[in-house]
Structure 1
Amino acid sequence: MTGLMELIRAHADAAGDAPAVASSPGETWSYRDLVSRIDSVADYLVRVGLRPGQRMLFSIRPSPKSIAVVLGTIAAGGSIVFLDPGMGESLFRNRVSSIDPAWIAAESILYSAAAPGPLRYLTRKRGLTLPRLSEIRAHHIRSGCWLPGVPRKAVDVRKLLHTQTAARISPNRDPDTEALVVFTSGTTAEPKAVVHSERSLVAAFRALVERAELGRDSVVHTEQAMIGLPALLAGGTWSIPKHGLLSGVDERGFLRTIGDATHTFVVPARLPKVLRLIESGAATAPRDLRHLLLGGAPVNAGLLRSVRNVLPNVDVMAIYGMTEILPVATVSAADKLAFDGPGDLVGTPVTGVEVRIGDDGELHLRGPNLCTGYLGSDSMTEHASGDLGTVVNGRIVLSGRKKDMFIRGETNIYPGLYEPAISSLPGVDGCAFVAVADTVGDERVTLALVTVDATAFAEASQAVASIVDHAAMPDRIVRVDAIPTSGRSMKPDRTMLARQLERAGLL
């Protein structure tokens, strides 16, 4: 198998001065720069004691430096564990315990914001309580200047980038061993983490290169590593949006730094604000953008029509996948808008992905990009997706979620079967079903609608009856300002929505 480093190094050998990674403000590394610094990181880590299989807890936002550390760690035989310290102290502590990291790479501000002082006061005032990373016994690497709260022996990330020997570093790993760990869900008692090997990652990146039509002239604007790294495998440029001091990338910053990008990735929940900024004139439409990639949540027809109106010359592709196996399938906006059958068309499976339909209608997935399994569990040969659906003429059509199911009386109600169609109604910006148990143990079902005005709400409420089966009709339809979301994929948070509706007296 050709590994990550060999694929990236091939571009450095062929066109070393070509731009590989660019970030705002104004930092650009060529392929020769990137490979040199990856080798430097790997060399440093091996010399100071990193052993194959050791894990590095990683909490540094995307930048040329952080990309070099991630790839250098993998090349040295280590494993990267992406972990958000803002998830809550108890959950974070439990997850750290489950991975037992030998190394921690984090931003200096994260160390400092957890230590007593004004920065901790400010973060807690914003509702964010960060764990004391400095208390974890491990080798510490800091990104940024030293601040109070940073371990005294923490190594400046810049030292890793400039200690390279003259020789190239050969990857020190079996391609089928653990290379990446990503937590997806789970309680504090039972954390759930997906483990990928270098082999499965390369397969995933190659599938995205093929479907997104990435090449050496491509500039991919995203903070998502699973979208940015395929650009490097294709010989293109990964353009990283600007982020705030203690926050992610906002929509204005995203558009302000998009520059000459040919491709970009946006989660559906953020796209309406991006489009409104362009439509209102508050931001300029990207001049060179050819491909808009959407994923992480259902993509409805109404959103696609909005994109077509605001960005008529941009091809839109919706990506269907999950942390366990990404991508699974893709579909163009044209095909999705033309689809008039029941369910949600998510497209044609990528090369190598196989779909098996279980007796209960659940999609079981396998392919070269399948993860090796869950942390601490047996190896995985196929993934039970939790999605219900079928394959029609070679294309996957979803009909709902196995887990997102409400039972009212003798009727099983699958929100995913109806939400895409309801969200595509005129004037509807989003929707979600929630269910709350009543006094006799049955479930009352409420449909929350986000609409542009009261008239659109009234019209959409009437139209629901033409979309939802009679037996599955909600007991109540209410109007809300927004649908709360959770996680990196920003999927509807039904638990939080139910709490909000209950507080507002709408359940």
Structure 2
Amino acid sequence: MLDRLDHALRSTPERPAVLGATATGRLRVRATRGELAGLADAYTSSLYARGLRPGDTVGVAVRPGPRALAVMLALWRLGVRGAVLDPGAGPDVLRARLALARPALVLADATAQAVAGWARPLAGRVRLALPDLAALGPVVTVGRRLPGCAPALGAAGARVPAVDHGDGDAVIVFTSGTTSSPKAVVHSRSSLSAGMDNVSALFRARPDEPVLGGTFFVLVPSLAQGAPVALPARTPRALARQLHRLRPRDTYLTPPQLRDALRAGARFTGRVWTGSAPASAGLLGRVRDAGAAEAWGVYALTELFPAAAVESRAKAAYDGEGDLVGAPLPGVGTRRDAGGELLLTGPAARHRYLGEEPDPWVRTGDRAHLDAQGRIVLEGRCKDMVLRRAENIYPGLYEPLLQVRGVELAVLVGVPAGDGDERLVAVVQKAAGATEGQLRAALAGPLRRMGSARPDALLFADVPLSGRSRKPDRAATARLADARLTGARLTGARLGAHA
């Protein structure tokens, strides 16, 4: 796919490649296809001149956009694997991840360095762990260099020989794991390409018809098919204006971005895709009500992207227990282990975890089953199980019932009951305009249908989010629920004593 992209960029160099948006939602061309190809050529030459060779690792902390894409194209052409670094993860997490990946060089743009404030102090620390860096220094700046940033990458000049790199490592993406023991997914060149082929088959982008989305897995297939890509505006209002001006045939936004855009009055066109975090049938339905012809939820993992997809109508029509996420995409194999955990395999599956042996099967961490039509139905996260009165309760089986009109987000969490047991609490985030009274009435029926899994308490609060994809943070939500319930008990005790 990346080889096809490189050829496609050069065949129509004058056409727009990456579009941006101003604060008012107006569109601007951030890079033409020829400029993107030229930038990739320059980075390839500069990195080769610095001694980077096949099998080396380069850390990448560059915001999504033309430069980040050009860097990945350069690493692909050199046979160098890129370790994707999140500059906002904090210095301790970054040091642990760098120690695991052991990059020969870290590429960071000025904004990433300024926001995180980590590049300069980190350089000296990492140098001790990576003695092969010699005098080069471990961090260089990609793009415009601001005062206090690491040295610039430097000018091109070296001629890079054409080499067949086979099926080596392509990228390292860090996922869960503690500071002392980070976990990193390694995709090979073939698995990365297979994943982008799957996205390409889903999106079916058309030449010169803009796609709205900012992830690598959206940029590459769309550009390879001749479509320009517009990076989503950063604020909800600007995003709403951007959608109005662009009227994209395909849009990819995360669920939090969709919720923010809907609150800002956004109208959608064509097909809308969402993933990276749970997307309820209610959210997808609201997107269709706001003008989208189709609204798709994509089930994907860092280890295998994408795995399944479901359109809003099919998701809304499903009346069984659990969360329908769709039929496995072509080439994706499924099985369950003895505990009900879903395992996936296929050409797009990661090769291995860094430091571990290859394994063709990916453990999703999700309990799931296949329905009569062969579609994946999630039953909840294995580790999210709540144990109440000796009964195992899996929140994912019941959370879809809480997605009634007026509910923006709802999660079930367990909080300590003080005797080794847990209380089951539903934390519900209201949509704009909804009242607690309306939602209590609307939820009465769904709560009764939960049977023995009916929550002990219903709380209305904003659900905490975490991570780059802004998924519901269950641990933080459980702490919030515990604090609210404890506060209510203390208030009640004080009132009783006063009476």
TM (norm. structure 1) is 0.85
Is residue 401–residue 446 contact of structure 2 (8 Å, CA) maintained in 1? no
Is residue 461–residue 477 contact of structure 1 (8 Å, CA) maintained in 2? no
Pick one of 486, 497, 502 that aligns with 2:466.
486
Is residue 253–residue 275 contact of structure 2 (8 Å, CA) maintained in 1? yes
Question: What secondary structure sits across from 2:255 in the alignment?
Answer: coil
Alpha-carbon distance between aligned partners in 2 of 1:263 and 1:344, rounded to the nearest angstrom:
24
Using the TM superposition, name which of 397-406 and 378-387 deviates more. Answer: 397-406
Deviation at 1:214, TM superposition (A): 1.9
Is residue 321–residue 398 contact of structure 2 (8 Å, CA) maintained in 1? no
Is 1:502 the counterpart of 2:482? The answer is: yes
Is residue 55–residue 80 contact of structure 2 (8 Å, CA) maintained in 1? yes
Is residue 42–residue 169 contact of structure 1 (8 Å, CA) maintained in 2? no
Is 1:322 the counterpart of 2:309? The answer is: no
Could you say which residue in structure 2 is the equivalent of 1:147?
146
Is residue 205–residue 226 contact of structure 1 (8 Å, CA) maintained in 2? yes
More helix by share: 2
Is residue 301–residue 421 contact of structure 1 (8 Å, CA) maintained in 2? no
Give, as a single letter, the amino acid of the residue that structure 2 aligns with 1:406. V
Give, as a single letter, the amino acid of the residue that structure 2 aligns with 1:18. R
Could you say which residue in structure 2 is the equivalent of 1:473?
454
CA deviations over 1:104-143 (Å, ceiling 9, x no partner): 111224434566xxxxxxxxxxxxx888344343443214
Deviation at 1:387, TM superposition (A): 1.4
CA deviations over 1:264-312 (Å, ceiling 9, x no partner): 211112312211212xxxx6x35xx31211111222121122112211x
Could you say which residue in structure 1 is the equivalent of 2:252?
265
Deviation at 1:195, TM superposition (A): 0.8
Deviation at 1:318, TM superposition (A): 1.1
Could you say which residue in structure 2 is the equivalent of 1:297?
277
Give, as a single letter, the amino acid of the residue that structure 2 aligns with 1:33. E
Alignment CA distance shift 1:53-1:308 (3 Å): same
Q: Output the aligned Cα RMSD.
A: 2.4
Alpha-carbon distance between aligned partners in 2 of 1:155 and 1:164, rounded to the nearest angstrom:
15
Could you say which residue in structure 2 is the equivalent of 1:251?
236
Could you say which residue in structure 2 is the equivalent of 1:120?
none
Is residue 425–residue 456 contact of structure 2 (8 Å, CA) maintained in 1? yes
Could you say which residue in structure 1 is the equivalent of 2:436?
454
Deviation at 1:144, TM superposition (A): 4.8
Deviation at 1:100, TM superposition (A): 1.4
Alignment CA distance shift 1:411-1:197 (3 Å): same
Alignment CA distance shift 1:214-1:110 (3 Å): closer
Pick one of 442, 446, 454 that aligns with 2:421.
442
Question: What secondary structure sits across from 2:387 in the alignment?
Answer: strand
Question: What secondary structure sits across from 1:431 in the alignment?
Answer: strand
Pick one of 372, 382, 389 that aligns with 1:402.
382
Could you say which residue in structure 2 is the equivalent of 1:37?
39
Pick one of 218, 224, 236 that aligns with 1:233.
224
Could you say which residue in structure 1 is the equivalent of 2:213?
222
Using the TM superposition, name which of 196-205 and 302-311 deviates more. Answer: 302-311
Could you say which residue in structure 2 is the equivalent of 1:433?
412
Alpha-carbon distance between aligned partners in 1 of 2:302 and 2:455, rounded to the nearest angstrom:
31
Could you say which residue in structure 1 is the equivalent of 2:187?
196
Give, as a single letter, the amino acid of the residue that structure 2 aligns with 1:466. R
Alpha-carbon distance between aligned partners in 2 of 1:377 and 1:94, rounded to the nearest angstrom:
17
Count of residue pairs brought into register by the alignment = 466
Paired residues for 1:30-429 under 5 Å: 30-112=32-114, 132-135=121-124, 136-137=126-127, 138-151=137-150, 154-156=151-153, 159=154, 163=156, 170=162, 173-175=165-167, 177-242=168-233, 249-258=234-243, 259-260=245-246, 261-278=248-265, 285=267, 289-311=269-291, 313-392=292-371, 393-423=373-403, 425-429=404-408
TM (norm. structure 2) is 0.87
Alpha-carbon distance between aligned partners in 2 of 1:78 and 1:131, rounded to the nearest angstrom:
24
Is residue 387–residue 402 contact of structure 1 (8 Å, CA) maintained in 2? yes
Give, as a single letter, the amino acid of the residue that structure 1 aligns with 2:354. L
Is residue 37–residue 164 contact of structure 1 (8 Å, CA) maintained in 2? no
Alpha-carbon distance between aligned partners in 2 of 1:185 and 1:195, rounded to the nearest angstrom:
14
Gaps of 5+ in 1: 116-128, 243-248
Give, as a single letter, the amino acid of the residue that structure 1 aligns with 2:165. R
Alpha-carbon distance between aligned partners in 1 of 2:344 and 2:223, rounded to the nearest angstrom:
27
Could you say which residue in structure 2 is the equivalent of 1:245?
none
Alpha-carbon distance between aligned partners in 2 of 1:499 and 1:78, rounded to the nearest angstrom:
43
Alpha-carbon distance between aligned partners in 1 of 2:390 and 2:119, rounded to the nearest angstrom:
45
Give, as a single letter, the amino acid of the residue that structure 1 aligns with 2:311. S
Gaps of 5+ in 2: 23-27, 128-136, 490-499
Deviation at 1:233, TM superposition (A): 2.7
Alpha-carbon distance between aligned partners in 1 of 2:79 and 2:249, rounded to the nearest angstrom:
33
Alignment CA distance shift 1:496-1:208 (3 Å): same
Is residue 422–residue 467 contact of structure 1 (8 Å, CA) maintained in 2? no
Is residue 285–residue 295 contact of structure 2 (8 Å, CA) maintained in 1? no
Could you say which residue in structure 1 is the equivalent of 2:7?
10
Alignment CA distance shift 1:459-1:131 (3 Å): farther
Deviation at 1:87, TM superposition (A): 1.7
Alpha-carbon distance between aligned partners in 1 of 2:163 and 2:257, rounded to the nearest angstrom:
38
CA deviations over 1:75-118 (Å, ceiling 9, x no partner): 11211111112222222221121111211111224434566xxx
Alignment CA distance shift 1:37-1:352 (3 Å): same
Deviation at 1:356, TM superposition (A): 1.2
Alpha-carbon distance between aligned partners in 1 of 2:284 and 2:39, rounded to the nearest angstrom:
40
Question: What secondary structure sits across from 2:414 in the alignment?
Answer: strand
Question: What secondary structure sits across from 1:52 in the alignment?
Answer: coil
Give, as a single letter, the amino acid of the residue that structure 1 aligns with 2:236. E
Alpha-carbon distance between aligned partners in 2 of 1:229 and 1:435, rounded to the nearest angstrom:
41
Give, as a single letter, the amino acid of the residue that structure 2 aligns with 1:212. F
Give, as a single letter, the amino acid of the residue that structure 2 aligns with 1:436. V
Q: Percent identity?
A: 32
Alpha-carbon distance between aligned partners in 2 of 1:267 and 1:110, rounded to the nearest angstrom:
21
Deviation at 1:359, TM superposition (A): 2.6
CA deviations over 1:24-71 (Å, ceiling 9, x no partner): 463343333322332222122112201222222211111212211121
Question: What secondary structure sits across from 1:370 in the alignment?
Answer: coil
Could you say which residue in structure 2 is the equivalent of 1:27?
29
Is residue 82–residue 183 contact of structure 1 (8 Å, CA) maintained in 2? yes
Alpha-carbon distance between aligned partners in 1 of 2:251 and 2:389, rounded to the nearest angstrom:
45
Alpha-carbon distance between aligned partners in 2 of 1:114 and 1:13, rounded to the nearest angstrom:
35
